[in-house]
Amino acid sequence: MAKRALLTGVTGQDGAYLSEFLLSKGYEVFGVIRRSSHRGVEDHRLRWLGIAAKVRLLDGDLGDLSSLLRITQDVQPDEIYNLAAQSFVASSWRQPILTANITAVGVANMLEAARIAAPGARFYQASSSEMYGLIQQPMQNEKTPFYPRSPYAVAKLYGHWITVNYRESFGLHASSGILFNHESPLRGIEFVTRKVSDGVARIKLGKAKELRLGNIDAKRDWGHAKDYVRAMWMMLQQEKPDNYVVATGRTTTVRDMCRIAFTHAGLEMDEHVVIDPAFYRPTDVDVLLGDASKARATLGWAPKIGLEEMICEMVDADLKRVRTEPAI
């Protein structure tokens, strides 16, 4: 029989690409989706990949344990991927309680549902490089101390450690992937890489003249979401659960990432980028650089798509989107 996978955050960037990957492996894919008055809009990433009809969406919410128990009991998944979160760092200062309830306590709810209704299922928790925050080592690995610098990162740290605790307390096959920044044409428009690719497309097509950004000297370790969801699956194929850093080992400033995008479109970045203090964060993470040696050695994982290729793909996708936007 085909394996069954249950995904929270199924309509996000990672959920969509992971669904595509699992379907290619012959899985039945089930996704937890919040009740919304915008039904038919939220699955646009699944439709963009052409897989919406192949993923079964089930109403539930990370803040509602009863719905998670019901879904887990009904699906009886072989693998559970907890990808859902309030995942926009900037919003976590404006909505710290929501972020805590979903990004932190929501993980405990999903683990409880797994422990009670599907204790044999293998569990993946989406942890984040933002947990390192004010970095304690030049390169961050699984043993680097954490120093979160946003309500989002603090909430992710709870989710990370409660996953470890359930693994050690109840014997769940629960792994945590500490994923560094990963992007794609499916990235939300509020994230800086997609904000840049969309802005470049609009400037190129004459629909905008400038792109307003905050701290463009921050450095990040950027990879492609397609590579990173493959690492998630690899973790759950191991005999023993564990924590793994997933990263490229290359750090790039937002400024240089912007330059790649503008150059690809034949534009001069300095003519269009405006630094706007309104986009500065109360506390920022200056640099992140991941050491994925353990994932390479144990999982056999390595990224296949480079930064330049990824940014060019994103710009091309946004050029196509913006060209076909209806006139207002």
Between CA 242 and CA 156 the distance in angstroms is: 17
Catalytic residue among 19, 127, 128, 175: 128
> Residue 126 forms beta bridges with which residues?
177
Contact call for residues 304 and 252 (beta carbons, < 8 A): no
> Residue 32 forms beta bridges with which residues?
8, 58
Contact call for residues 157 and 148 (beta carbons, < 8 A): yes
Length of the chain in residues, anyone?
A: 328
Q: Which amino acid is at 219?
A: K
> Residue 183 forms beta bridges with which residues?
224
Distances in whole angstroms, Cα of residue 208 to Cα of each of 193, 284, 319: 17, 28, 13
The two structure tokens encoding residue 80? 């559970």
Catalytic residue among 20, 28, 79, 130: 130
| Angle at which helices 307-323 and 192-204 cross, to 10° | 50
Between CA 148 and CA 132 the distance in angstroms is: 6
| Active site annotation includes 130 | yes
List the one residue out of 100, 62, 95, 94 whose CA is nearest residue 80.
62
| Active site annotation includes 152 | yes
The two structure tokens encoding residue 138? 């030049």
Catalytic residue among 152, 158, 166, 228: 152
Contact call for residues 154 and 148 (beta carbons, < 8 A): yes
Between CA 44 and CA 68 the distance in angstroms is: 23
| Residues belonging to the active site | 128, 130, 152
